A and B are shown apart, each in its own frame.
Chain A
Amino acid sequence: MEVLIPQDQNLAARETFRAFSKFRERGRACLFIFGLWLALFCLGLNAARGQTVSHEYPLKAVFLLNFAKFTEWPTNAFDKPDSPLVIGVLGDDPFGAVLDDAVRGEIANGRKFVVERYRRVEDIKACHILFISQSETRRLAKIVAALKRKPVLTASEIDNSAYNGVCVQFITENNKIRFRVNLDSLKEADITMSSQLLRLSETIPAPTK
C-alpha cells in the first residue's frame, strides 16, 4: 500500500470531454460491442458444425456394457430367462447414439441389450443398469429413494453420488475413468458384482480387514 503524496500543485485542468463528443462515443461503443457479439455468435455456430467429440462417452458406454458382463442380477429382475438386459439413461442423455451403437449385437449371459431413456424416475419399469445424468443432481436423493431395494445397478458421474447411495460413481482422475462402488447399495439391490471389477474400483464402505 502506498499513500499518495502530491507534488504537482498546478491546478490547470486538462481538457474534459464535451457533452457532444461524449454522446457520440457512447453510441459507437454500444454498436461496436453488439457487432462483436454478433460476429462471435455466428463464428460459434460455424465452429459447431466442425466439432469433434472426445471419447469420454464411447468409453463410458463400453464400461456400462462391461458392467452387464461382470454383474449378476437376482432372477426376479428378469421376466423370462431370455428377457433383454435394459440399460436406461435418466435425464439429459450425454451419450446420444453412442450407447445404442455400443450395445448393438452384443450379448451378455445369453441376453440381448435394450437402451431406454427416461425423463423421470417414475417412468422406469424394467431397468437393470441405470445411468443417472448430471441433469438429475438436485433430484438424486429422490431417485435413489425411489429405486431402493430394486435390482437396478445405478451409475452416475454426479459428484459424491456413490456416497449418496448410487451403486457406481464414475470419477475422472488424471483424465482416466475410475469407479467408486457403494457396496451397501449393491447389497440392498441384491446385485453381485464380480471381484474382477471390484478389484479395480474404490469401494465404500472400505472392506473391514
Chain B
Amino acid sequence: MLGLAIAIAQAAWADELTPPAASSVAQTNSEALDTYKKMSLEELMDQQVTSVAKQPQPLGQAPAAIQVVTGDEIRRSGASSIPEALRLADNLDVAQINSHDWAISARGFNSHLGDKLLVLMDGRAVYSPLYGGVLWNMQDYLLEDIDRIEVISGPGGTLWGANAMNGVINITSKNAKDTQGFYMEAGGGTELQDFTGVRYGGTLSSNVYYRVYGKFYNLSDEHLANGSDAADATIQGQGGFRIDTEPSLPNVFTLQGDIYDGDNGLDVGGTVATNEIVGGGNLLGRWTHPISDDSDMSLQMYYDRTHLEFPYVTLGTLSDNLDTADVEFQHNFSLGERNKFVWGAGYRFTHEVDQNSAAPGTAQVIFAPSTLDQNLFNVFGQDEIKLLDPLYLTLGTKIEHNDYTGFEFEPSIRLQWTPAPKQMFWGAISRAVRTPSRLDHDLQIPTGLAPPFQTFEAGGSDFTSEDVIAYELGYRTQLGSKTSASISAFYNDYNDLRSLSPGPAASFGLPFTFANNLQGDTYGFEISADYQIFNWWRLHGGYDFLQENIFVKPGQTDLDNALDETADPQNQVFLRSSMELPFHTELDVNARWIDKVENDNNGVAGTVPSYAEMDVRLGWHAAKNLEISIVGQNLLHDQHAEAGYPGSSQEQIVRSIYGKVSWKF
C-alpha cells in the first residue's frame, strides 16, 4: 500500500513538473505584462506586488518546524506586547494568565511552571535559571523595531543547548541602519490604558548607525470570575539603544543594551492586593567577520541583570537578583564541495541571590543556598552533508557541562530533501534535555513548625535532567507566489520528567520533594497555510493537534498523579485575514479557537473551558508618515479565562479596545 501511495505521489509530481501549455498562469502573466508595458515609470512604481517568499530564512535551521512572524505582521495584528505578537506563530500555545503574565509553550507542557522553551532576544537567552521558564513580563521591546520573530517548535538542543527542549523562539530587532529617523507612537484604551514610545535613529559616522528608544505603558486590571476587578494593574517602562556598523564592511560590529523597570499588580484571591517588582538591564556586543564567500565567524558577549520581587500571600516576598555573563563563538565554513560545517563554543556564568523578606524560621519560600554561582560550558559541531543534489544530511551534537548534572549530550540527525526549489521534505531525530533549575534542586519551604514538620516542600538533591528523544517529519511548500503551506508532525518520547514525591513516613510524608518519576510520550502535528486571494487580501490558517500520555513510572509516586506538567489544549485553530482597503486603510482580523485545558492543582482537577476569541485592527495611513489605528482585542466575550485553576483567584481576560497614532519623520 505504501509503495502504491509513493508511486501515485511521484506520478503526480512528474505531472506537476511539466510546464503548463496554455494555462491560466501564462495568460495572467502576459496580461500583466501588457498592462505594465503601457505604464510610465511612476505608474509602475505605484503597482502593488505581494510575495510570501520574502520571509527571511534562517541559515541552517531551515529543515525544522519553523514559523516566522515579521515586524509588519506584528504591526498589522495590533499586538502591543511580545506575547501578543507570539499569538501569530500558530505552532505555539499562548495563554494569558493576567494583565502581565503569560504561559507560552510549544508542543505541550504549558504548565504553571512551563520550562521547556528557549527564548533568545538578539542572541541573549532570557529564560530564568530560577525555574527554567521565561518571565514574559520582563521581555519587552519597541515592537516597531522588531525585525522578525522565528518560532521553532521541536527540540533545538544541538545548536541552542539545554532548555531548547520543546522549542526555540528567536526575537530579532532591526539593524540600526533600518531604523533611521524619528518614530513616535502613543495611544490608549480600556486595558492598555495608555502607552507611548519614541525612537530616534541616526549615524555616528558615515558607516556607523545607531538608534535610541524609550517606551512606557500602563495596563489596567483584568477581572476575577465574579466580574470584579483583579488588582493586577501594571506600570512599566523600557529604554535602550543599538549601534551597528555597515553590514557590508569586512568586520561587522553590533552593540546594544536595554534597561527596564516595572511594577506589576498581583491579585491573590481577591483579598490581598500586592505588587511584583521587575527590573533589569543588559548589554550585548557582537563581532562578525566574513572570512571568505562561504565562511564566517562571530563572537558575542553579553551581560544581563534581572531583579525580581515576588510576593507570596503567606510565605514572604522572594527577591531574586541574577547576573549573567555569557560569551559565545561560532565559525561556519565549507569543507570541499559537499560539507558545510558549523562549530562553536560558549561559556556562561550566573550569579544568583535569592532572599526572602519573611523572618527566619517562619513559613516562607527560599532557595538554599541563597547565593549560587553557576558555570555552563558548551561546545557544538554540526555538519551539513550534500548526499545528492537535492538531498542533505545534517549531523551534529552539542556537549554541555552544567554544575548540577555534569555533561549533557544533545545530538541530532536531520535529512532534508528539496525535490523542487520551493518544496521541502524533512525528517529529524533529536535528543534534548532540560537541565535542573534552582526550583527543582534548591527550593525550600520551611513551615516554621517543630520537627518533623519543619519543611513542607523541597527541591530534590538527586534531581536530574529531563530528556526527550524527538522524531519529526515535515513538509513545506510554496505554490507559486500566492500560496504557502507547511506541516510538521512529531512523536516525542520523554523520560525523567518532574514529579513531586512524598518524604519519609516518619515525618508523615514531609517534605514533598521534586523527583524525576514521570515518563511518557506526546504526539501531534502542526499545519499552517497562507493564501493570497487577491493583491489586497491575504488569508492564513493554522491548526495544531497534540496528544499527551504522561504517566508515573511503575513503582514510583507523584503527588500530582502525572497531571501537573501538562495543562495543554489538544486542538488549536487559527484564522487570520489581512486586507488592504481603499483610502489607505487596512483591516486585519485574527481569530483563534483554543480547546479546553485540563489542569490539576495537586490532585484536584480543574478545567479551563475551550474558547474562541478574535482581535480586529483597522488602520488608516492618514498621510505618508502618519498611521492611525484602532484595535479591539478579545472581542467575542466580556471576559474569559485562558489559564490557571478554576477558583476565586483565576483571572479573566476582558474585552478591550485601544487607539494608536504612530508618526515617522
Report yes or no: B48 in contact with A5, Cβ–Cβ below 8 A. Answer: no
Which 7 A-B pairs rank lowest in CB-CB distance, beginning with the nearest? A8-B603, A51-B480, A33-B489, A62-B36, A56-B49, A29-B523, A58-B32
Q: Which residue of A lies closest to B604 (CB)?
A: A8
Give the docked Cα–Cα distance between A142 and B13 (Å).
Answer: 36
Report yes or no: A45 in contact with B113, Cβ–Cβ below 8 A. Answer: no
Determine the chain A residues whose CB is within 8 A of the CB of B32 once the complex forms: 55, 58-59
Q: Could you tell me the distance in whole angstroms from the C-beta of A170 to the nearest C-beta in chain B?
A: 10
Report yes or no: A54 in contact with B50, Cβ–Cβ below 8 A. Answer: yes
CB contacts between A and B, total, < 8 Å: 219
Q: Which residue of B lies closest to A66 (CB)?
A: B41
Determine the chain A residues whose CB is within 8 A of the CB of B509 once the complex forms: 9, 11
0/1 interface trace, chain A 49-64, chain B, CB 8 Å (1 if under): 1011111101101110
Q: Which of B129-137, B323-331, B369-377, B404-412 contacts A (4 or more CB under 8 A)?
A: B129-137
Given contacts A53-B25, A101-B29, 13 further A-B contacts (CB under 8 A): A3-B365, A4-B500, A14-B562, A25-B549, A36-B525, A42-B12, A48-B16, A48-B477, A58-B32, A59-B32, A101-B33, A175-B580, A177-B47
Task: Kindly identify which residue among B29, B312, B473, B502 contacts A55, using a CB–CB cutoff of 8 Å.
Answer: B29
Q: Does B602 contact A (CB under 8 A)?
A: yes
Within 8 A of B (CB), among A1-19: 1-11, 13-14, 16-17
Give the docked Cα–Cα distance between A172 and B13 (Å).
Answer: 32
A56-B44 CB under 8 A given contacts A33-B491, A102-B37: no
Report yes or no: A63 in contact with B44, Cβ–Cβ below 8 A. Answer: yes
Determine the chain A residues whose CB is within 8 A of the CB of B113 once the complex forms: 1-2, 4
Task: Kindly identify which residue among A6, A58, A138, A176 contacts B457, using a CB–CB cutoff of 8 Å.
Answer: A6
Footprint of B on A, CB under 8 Å? 1-11, 13-14, 16-17, 22, 25-26, 29-30, 32-34, 36-38, 40-42, 44-49, 51-56, 58-59, 61-63, 65-66, 70, 92, 97-98, 101-102, 106, 138-139, 141-142, 160, 163-164, 172, 175-178, 196-197, 200
Report yes or no: B49 in contact with A59, Cβ–Cβ below 8 A. Answer: yes
Determine the chain B residues whose CB is within 8 A of the CB of A4 once the complex forms: 112-113, 457, 500, 564, 602
Q: Could you tell me the distance in whole angstroms from the C-beta of B203 to the nearest C-beta in chain A?
A: 11
Q: Which residue of B lies closest to A175 (CB)?
A: B48
A56-B602 CB under 8 A given contacts A38-B9, A172-B51: no
Determine the chain B residues whose CB is within 8 A of the CB of A163 once the complex forms: 246-248
What are 12 residue pairs bridging A and B, where the CB atoms are less than 8 Å apart in the complex?
Answer: A1-B133, A9-B502, A9-B509, A16-B562, A44-B423, A45-B12, A48-B16, A59-B49, A66-B41, A160-B247, A196-B41, A200-B45
Give the docked Cα–Cα distance between A3 and B367 (Å).
Answer: 12
Task: Kindly identify which residue among A17, A38, A164 contacts B549, using a CB–CB cutoff of 8 Å.
Answer: A17
Give the docked Cα–Cα distance between A70 and B47 (Å).
Answer: 19
Report yes or no: B475 in contact with A44, Cβ–Cβ below 8 A. Answer: yes
Q: Could you tell me the distance in whole angstroms from the C-beta of B480 to the nearest C-beta in chain A?
A: 4
Within 8 A of A (CB), among B15-57: 15-16, 20, 24-26, 28-30, 32-33, 36-37, 39, 41-42, 44-51, 54
Q: Does B601 contact A (CB under 8 A)?
A: yes
0/1 interface trace, chain B 4-16, chain A, CB 8 Å (1 if under): 0100110011011
A7-B604 CB under 8 A given contacts A56-B50, A138-B293: yes
Within 8 A of A (CB), among B478-517: 479-483, 485, 487, 489-491, 500, 502, 509, 512
Q: Which residue of A lies closest to B25 (CB)?
A: A53
Report yes or no: A62 in contact with B33, Cβ–Cβ below 8 A. Answer: yes
A160-B45 CB under 8 A given contacts A53-B25, A58-B33, A172-B54: no
Give the docked Cα–Cα distance between A13 and B556 (Å).
Answer: 9
Report yes or no: B483 in contact with A47, Cβ–Cβ below 8 A. Answer: yes
A55-B47 CB under 8 A given contacts A8-B603, A138-B293, A160-B248: yes
Give the docked Cα–Cα distance between A33 and B46 (Å).
Answer: 46
Give the docked Cα–Cα distance between A5 and B54 (Å).
Answer: 49
Report yes or no: B457 in contact with A5, Cβ–Cβ below 8 A. Answer: yes
Determine the chain A residues whose CB is within 8 A of the CB of B47 once the complex forms: 55, 59, 176-177
Q: Could you tell me the distance in whole angstroms from the C-beta of A38 to the nearest C-beta in chain B?
A: 6
Report yes or no: A172 in contact with B49, Cβ–Cβ below 8 A. Answer: yes
Report yes or no: A13 in contact with B561, Cβ–Cβ below 8 A. Answer: yes
Report yes or no: B135 in contact with A45, Cβ–Cβ below 8 A. Answer: no
Determine the chain A residues whose CB is within 8 A of the CB of B564 once the complex forms: 4
Give the docked Cα–Cα distance between A2 and B602 (Å).
Answer: 13
Q: Could you tell me the distance in whole angstroms from the C-beta of A19 to the nearest C-beta in chain B?
A: 9
Q: Could you tell me the distance in whole angstroms from the C-beta of B108 to the nearest C-beta in chain A?
A: 14
How many chain B residues have a CB neighbour from A under 8 Å? 93
Q: Which residue of A lies closest to B559 (CB)?
A: A6
Report yes or no: B439 in contact with A3, Cβ–Cβ below 8 A. Answer: yes
Determine the chain B residues whose CB is within 8 A of the CB of A38 once the complex forms: 5, 9
0/1 interface trace, chain B 409-446, chain A, CB 8 Å (1 if under): 00000000000010101000000000000010001010
Determine the chain B residues whose CB is within 8 A of the CB of A30 once the complex forms: 491, 523
Report yes or no: A101 in contact with B30, Cβ–Cβ below 8 A. Answer: yes
Give the docked Cα–Cα distance between A44 and B9 (Å).
Answer: 10
Determine the chain B residues whose CB is within 8 A of the CB of A101 once the complex forms: 29-30, 33
Give the docked Cα–Cα distance between A197 and B41 (Å).
Answer: 8
Q: Could you tell me the distance in whole angstroms from the C-beta of B168 to the nearest C-beta in chain A?
A: 21
Q: Does B301 contact A (CB under 8 A)?
A: no
Report yes or no: A16 in contact with B16, Cβ–Cβ below 8 A. Answer: no
Determine the chain A residues whose CB is within 8 A of the CB of B485 once the complex forms: 40, 44, 47
Q: Does B337 contact A (CB under 8 A)?
A: no
Give the docked Cα–Cα distance between A76 and B158 (Å).
Answer: 55
Determine the chain B residues whose CB is within 8 A of the CB of A175 once the complex forms: 48-50, 535, 580
Q: Does B310 contact A (CB under 8 A)?
A: yes
Report yes or no: A58 in contact with B480, Cβ–Cβ below 8 A. Answer: no
Give the docked Cα–Cα distance between A141 and B291 (Å).
Answer: 12
Give the docked Cα–Cα distance between A164 and B477 (Å).
Answer: 31
A36-B489 CB under 8 A given contacts A3-B365, A16-B551, A178-B45: yes
